[in-house]
Chain A
Amino acid sequence: MTFLTNIHRLLRVLLWQPQSAIGTLLVAFFFFLALFGGQLAPYPNANDQSHDARVSPTLDIGSLQLGAHPFGTDRLGRDVYSRVILGANSIFRIAGLGTVISVVLGSALGMAMGYRGDWLDELLGRVIDALLAIPALLLALVMVGIIRNLDFQINSWQAALADEVTLLVIAILYIPVVARVARSAALDIKTREFVAAAEIRGESSAFIIFREILPSAIPALVVEASLRFSYAIFLVASLGFLGFGAPPPSPDWGLMVNENRGGFYRLTPWALEFPALAIALLVIGVNLMSDGIRRAVQKGGA
C-alpha cells in the first residue's frame, strides 16, 4: 500500500499487457531523448545551417546504416534527425510541466470544492462548466494571442513568463478539467466513514482533504493526469503547427511540420514526415500507456 509498492505494481501491470507495454516503452524512449537529446544529437545546435540543403535521408533500415543525415536536411541545410531529437525536450517540458501544474492546482481546487460542497463549490462549479463549454484549442489561441500582444520590457519577469506562454496556457486550460475530476472523487470519498472519524477527532479541513481524502483519490488523479498529458502533447503540437507555439528557429515538431508543408513538401517531404511521425508515435504511446494505467488502477482498485 505504500507509494513505492504502488509504483512497482503499476509498472508490473503496465508491462504485462502488450499494448500498454508498447505505449510505455515508446514514452520512455521519447523521455530518454528529451533528457539526453543534447548529447545524442549529432549536431546539437538546432539552427546549424552548415550542411547541404535538401539532402535525402541516408537512413538505410536494411543494413542498419544511419549515414550522415539519417532523416535528410531541410531547405535551410539543417539536419532533420538532430532537430527531431532536440525537439523532444521542449514537448516534454511544456506538456509535462503544464500537466503537472494543472494536476496539482486542479486537484487541490477540486478536492476543496468537493469536500466543502457549499456555495463556493456551486459558484466555482458553474465557472468551470462555462470554461469547459469553450473548445480547448480556441481558448488556447485566444490566450496566446492576448499574451503575445502585450508589450513587456526585455528581461522583465513578465517577458520570461511570456516565453513560456504555451506551458501556462496548458496549465490554465486543464486546471478546471482536473478540478472537476478531483471534485467528484472527493464527493464520493468524503461520505466514507473514516472521514467522519477524522471530523469527530476535530481535524482541520486541510488535514482531512490532503491526508484523509487525497490518498484514496490518487488513482483517479493518476489516470486523469496521464490523459491530460496525452492531450497536452497534442495541443502543443497543434499550437506549434498553427504558429502559436515556439518561435521559428526552435526545433518544435509542430513548427517543423508547419514550416515544411505546402510547396516545400514536394521539395523535402522528409522534413515534414519525420517530425509528424514523432508526434504520432508519442501521442499513440501516451494514449496506450494511459489506457494501461486506467486498467491497472481499476483492476487493483488502488
Chain B
Amino acid sequence: MTQLTPLNPPDRSGGGNGARLLDVRGLGVSYRMGRRWLRALREFNLQLDAGQVVGIVGESGSGKSTAALALMHYLSANGRIDGGDLRFLGEDMLAMGAADLRRLWARHIKLVPQNAGAALNPSIKVGRQVAEALKAAEGIEGAKADQQVIASFRAVNLVDPAQVAERYPHELSGGMQQRVAIAMALMCQPDLLILDEPTTGLDVTTEAVILDLLRSLISGQGAGVLYITHNLGVVAQLCQRVVVLYAGEIMEEAPVAQLFARPRHPYTLGLLSSLPKAGQRKAHSRLQTIPGNPPDLRSVGQGCVYVERCPLAIEMCRAQKPPLEEVEPGRLARCFRWQDVDAFSGESPSRPDGSPLGRMASSGDSSPRPDGGGEGGQSGESPPRPDGSPLGRMASSGDSSPRPDGGTEGDILNAEGLTKHFPVPRDLVDLLRGRKPWPIRAVDGVDLRLRQGQTLGLVGESGSGKTTLARIIIGLEARSGGRLELFGADIQGGLRARQQDLLSQVQMVFQNPQNSLNPYRSVRQTLCRPLVKLRGLSAKSAEDQAVQLLEAVNLRADYADRYPDELSGGEKQRVAIARAFASQPSLVICDEPVSALDVSVQSAVLNLLADLQDEHGSACLFISHNLSVVGYLADVIAVMYLGQIVEIASADALFRAPSHPYTEALLAAIPTPDPSQRSQRILLADDLPSAQNLPSGCRFHTRCPRNIGEICGRDAPPWRETGAGQGIRCHIPLDELAGATPPPAPPRQDEEGM
C-alpha cells in the first residue's frame, strides 16, 4: 500500500496533517464460543494523540486486552471485528491487508505484553531477538544492529547490557525480561505503544522501577501510549486520561485528575472506594465493596451492563442502555444518573472525612459489623482482649504483653529460630571437586509470636520466604531447625504426628482460588468434610452446619450443590474461607488470599475475613505482598527479606514511620491511587539476591539506599527491640532511623483523606 509512505518519517506533531494518531469509533469485537459469538467489546471509542498517555482500566473479563489487540487489528483466530472504524494516522486499519498490517506492526505500533517471559522465545538469546525486531523494522543488521540493541538495553537501565544480550530469557529475572520487552518495543521509536499490564506479574519494588523507567521513556519519545491495567494506582501514577471498561463497554472516560477526584460513574466510584486506603484499619471502618459479580457476557441484556451491581439503578437503567455522553467538557460517562453520583458519594457518611473515596456506602455485605472500635459489642465467642483499644492488642504496656519471654498464656504461636534449608542436589562439577553446594536458605532464623485474636501481617517480595514460613508453621513443610510452639505445646515432627485437635486449631486459606477447591467436589462435600473429620459431626448435622457456613460467608444456601467451575473467583475464595473456618480454628493462616481477585471482589473478601476472625476470635497470620491490604487487616506487621525478619512493628507505627530502609522502600513502591501524589520513589536497584548465595553481613546491604558503609557488608546487623515484640534488624542507630523518616514521599494519605 503506497499510502503508508507519508508515515515515514512519522509525524509526531499529532494532527499536523489533520489526522489523529489513533481514532477509534464504535469498534466491536466478538469471540466465537462453540456455536455462538460472544460480544466481548462493544461501541469502543478512543482518540489518542502523539505524546498522550491514556490508561484503560478494567477488571478481568472487561475486554481490556481484547481492546488492545483489536486496536492493532490483531485478533486471535476465533475473534472478529463486528464493525466500527479504526484509523491510525487517518488510515483505515480495518481495510488493510496482512502485509500492510505487518509493516505497521514492525515499525509504527508496538505491544509490550503482560508476560514478557512467555513472549520471548526461550531458545534465542535476547540480544538476537531484539536485533531481529530491528531487522524487520528498519532492515538494520550486523554490528550496527548489535550496537543499537546494546544502546536500547542501556536505555532501559539494564546493568551490563552487552552481557545481558548474550543470555537466554530464562537466565533473566522477571523484571529484566520485562525490560528487554520494553527495549524491543521502544527501539524502533514507534508512534503508538500499547502496554498490556506490563508490571502485573512483578513485585511492587520491581514494578516501581519499571514504572519509573516507563515514565521517563514515554516522555522522551513523544509516542502515543495506551496503558492497559487493572491497577488504579498505576493509572494514577502514569496516565493523563483514563478509560474505564466494564463488561466490554466504556463506562467513563476522563482526565486522570478529574476521574480520581470526582468520578461520574457509579462503577468508577465503587472501584475507587473499594481500595483499602493507607492508614485505614479494620477496627475503624469496613472496606467499601461492590456487591455481586460482573455479568456473564452471554446474558448481557438491553439495559445498562452495570445495573445489577449499581446502587443508583432505577427502572430506566434496566429498560435501555445509557449512551456514552459528554458530561463535562472532555469527560464522557455512560450513566443516566451521572449527576447523582456526586450526591450519592456524599450522602452516606461512613467516614467522617471529606474524601469522596471514603463515602460510598458499604452496600455489599449483609452481615453487620460494628464499626469503629466497637469491640465490646461482640458476641460471647470473642476472647477477652487485654485492653479496650482494638489497636492496643499489640500494646507496649507491660501488663498486656508480659515480655521478655517465658510462654505467655495467650501465645498461640511461638517460633524461635525457625529455619528451612532446601538442599541443592550436587551436580557433576561439585561432585568432582568434592564440595557440597550451599542449600537454599528459604527461611533462616525467624522468631515470631502471635497472640490470641491477633492478626500478624507478613510482607516481603516474592522469594523472601513468606510462604515457606507459613507452610512450616502449618506443618506442610518440615523445618530444618528452630523451635515451634503452638498453643503452648512444643511441636515435633510433621503433619502426620499432629493430633486431630491441633489440626482443627490451625487452618489455612490459600492463594489461588482456582486450585484450592477440588473441582470434582460440590461445595457441600467440600464444607462437610472438615466438619465430619475435624469436628466429629454426624453427616446430617454437618450438612446443616455447611449451610450455616455458607451463610456466614454471604453465599446463598443453594450454592451448596454447585461445583467449583460454577463459581466465580471471589465465590471460590469465600468457600475456601468457609472451609478453613469450619473447624473453628484458633489460628488461620492466609497466604495471599486476595491477590488473585479483582479489586471489586477483593474488598468484600477482606471484610469477610475480618468479620469471621472477629466472630471466632481467631488469630491470623496474613501473608501478602500488598502492603495496603496488610495494613488494613493486621495489628502487627512483620517485614521479611531473604528468609529473615527485618522489622516487626505495629501496623500504625509502621505506616506512620517505617524505620527499616527495606520497609521504607516497600512502602514507597506502592503506586498510590492519587494523581496528585506522583511520588518520588525510593527505588531499589537490582533484583532480590539468590537465597542460595546470600550477601554477607546485612542481607539487604546490596540494595540498601541507606547503606552506611563497610559494616553493612561485613557484620550481620543485630536485632534491636524498639518496643514490646517490635524490633529492627539494622546497623543504623535507632534514633537516626526514626529521625530520617518520613521517607521523601510516603505513599499514604494523612487523616484528611486524599
Residues of A in contact with B (beta carbons under 8 Å apart): 1, 192-194, 196-197, 199-203, 212, 215-216, 302
Contact = CB atoms under 8 A, between A and B. Distances in A.
Contact of B563 (A1, A199, A201): A1
A1 B474 contact: no
Interface residues of B, number: 30
Given A1-B563, A215-B520, A200 B515 contact: no
- Per CB-CB distance, the 9 closest pairs between chain A and chain B, nearest first, are A215-B520, A193-B510, A193-B516, A192-B515, A1-B563, A194-B518, A202-B503, A193-B515, A200-B474
B520 A1 contact: yes
Most buried by B among A192, A202, A212, A216: A202
A201 B518 CA distance: 14
A212 B519 CA distance: 9
Contacts of B579: 197
A242 B104 CA distance: 65
Contacts of B511: 193
Most buried by B among A197, A202, A216: A197
15 contacts: A1-B522, A193-B511, A194-B516, A194-B518, A196-B508, A199-B476, A200-B474, A200-B503, A200-B507, A200-B508, A201-B534, A202-B533, A215-B520, A216-B518, A302-B519
B512 interface: yes
Nearest to A205: B496
Contacts of A302: 519, 565
B495 interface: yes
Contacts of B516: 192-194, 197
Contacts of B475: 200
A196 B470 CA distance: 12
A203 B515 contact: no
Interface of B: 474-476, 495-496, 498, 500, 503, 506-508, 510-512, 515-520, 522, 529-530, 533-534, 563, 565, 576, 579, 583
B476 A196 contact: yes
Nearest to B518: A194
Contacts of B510: 193, 196-197
Contacts of B474: 200
A194 B564 CA distance: 12
Nearest to B589: A200
B748 to A, nearest CB: 33
Contacts of A200: 474-476, 495, 503, 506-508
A126 to B, nearest CB: 17
A203 B498 CA distance: 12
A54 to B, nearest CB: 56
A201 B530 contact: yes
A198 B608 CA distance: 23
B501 to A, nearest CB: 10
Contacts of A215: 518-520
B495 A202 contact: yes
Contact of B520 (A197, A201, A202, A216): A216
Nearest to B495: A199
A197 B591 CA distance: 12
A193 B534 CA distance: 19
Most buried by B among A192, A193, A215, A216: A193
A192 B474 CA distance: 16
Contacts of A1: 519-520, 522, 563, 565
Nearest to A203: B533
A102 to B, nearest CB: 24
A200 B585 CA distance: 12
Contact of A202 (B476, B498, B508): B498
A201 B503 contact: yes
Nearest to B585: A200
Contacts of B508: 196-197, 200
B413 to A, nearest CB: 15
Contacts of B533: 201-203
Nearest to B512: A193
Nearest to A1: B563
Contacts of B530: 201
Given A1-B563, A193-B510, A215-B520, A201 B529 contact: yes
Contacts of A197: 508, 510, 516, 576, 579
A193 B518 CA distance: 9
A136 B517 CA distance: 40
B32 to A, nearest CB: 14
Most buried by B among A199, A201, A215: A201
A6 to B, nearest CB: 10
B595 to A, nearest CB: 13
A203 to B, nearest CB: 7
A82 B481 CA distance: 75
A16 B51 CA distance: 53
Given A201-B530, A202-B533, 13 more contacts: A1-B520, A1-B563, A1-B565, A193-B510, A197-B508, A200-B475, A200-B503, A200-B508, A201-B583, A202-B503, A203-B533, A212-B518, A215-B520
A217 to B, nearest CB: 10
A37 B515 CA distance: 48
